[in-house]
Amino acid sequence: MANVDERWLLEGSAPKRYEQCKVPTLFRPLAERFIAYVGIQRGERLLDVACGTGIVARLAAPLTGRCGRVVGVDLNAQMLAVAKSCEPLDGMDIEWRQADAGELPFGSCSFDTVLCQQALQFFPDRARSLFEMRRVLRPDGKLAINVWAARNPYLRALARALRGHVSDESAQRCLSPLALCDGVALRSLVYTAGFRQVTLHIATIFRHMRDLRETLFGEIQDLPFACDIDQAGERARIGMAESMSAELRPYRTTSGYLIPADVYFS
């Protein structure tokens, strides 16, 4: 069985939209902060688990240099196809492999550093995936992950809008990205997998949205609850937009919205 919640796998044209829209506004800024936190060295052998369209691997590759090795793995072949189509930074070579995070196709001690950005919370068997990450790391290697912490006004406003205008089930699905927002539980999960020096750092990133309604309905067309919204009809869509506009009013700026979100780096 695939070690991922398949409801969150992007298909069709969704991976390309993800790379064009969500990576520049959200996941590249997060990856830049994450890479700086990790402190990648020249010559490292680095694995990016659940790499998606590859932004973390692309940013890491120039830091390892040509004497290093960077590999990105993802279960979703369509996301990998987009990753392969993106121009590598500084012409650095990256290996792209389709693989399950719970069955990594590498020998023990193959990597110096393993990275995993915004994916661990979607693995049904998180412990198994972490054990695999530890297996492919050298004994003194480094694991670095990031997942959303509790403060995420946009996601929580979206969940309340879904609950009020669509369904409780849709609202619950919406909150799946926050499944590891409890820092104590996150630390325990990583420790139980055999990592002994577990540190947690909270960073805050900001996402700029020029038009809330356009961003909202542009993004949710690719998410697991999109069909629920379509079935609820236009009145529900209008209600959701009004509800979120009211709740996110404190984050309005002269150019749209600037919305914070906290993230754990471990």
Question: Which structural domain, as residue segments, surrounds residue 30?
Answer: 6-148
Is residue 197 domain-resident?
no
CATH code: domain of residue 140: 3.40.50.150
| Count of domains forming the chain | 1
**Is the pTM above the cut of 0.85?**
yes
Structure confidence at residue 2 as a pLDDT band (50, 70, 90): very low
Say whether pLDDT at 11 is over 70.
no
Flag whether 221 is in a domain.
no
pLDDT in tens, 107-144: 999 999 999 999 999 999 999 999 999 999 999 999 99
Closest CA to 54 of 132, 131, 127, 119: 119
User: Does residue 229 form part of some domain?
Assistant: no
6-10, 176-180, 183-187, 255-259: least confidently modelled range: 6-10
Residue 174 included in any domain: no
Instruction: Please work out, in degrees rounded to the nearest 5, the angle formed at the alpha carbon of residue 154 by the alpha carbons of 125 and 251.
Output: 150
The answer to whether residue 264 is domain-embedded is no
* Cβ contact 219:21 at 8 Å: yes
Burial class (CB in 10 A: 0-12, 13-18, 19+), 227: exposed
Average pLDDT rounded to a whole number, residues 171-176? 94
Residue 161 included in any domain: no
Q: Answer whether residue 227 is part of any domain.
A: no
- 136, 146, 212, 213 from 238: Cα distances, Å: 49, 33, 12, 9
pLDDT for residue 28 is more than 50: yes
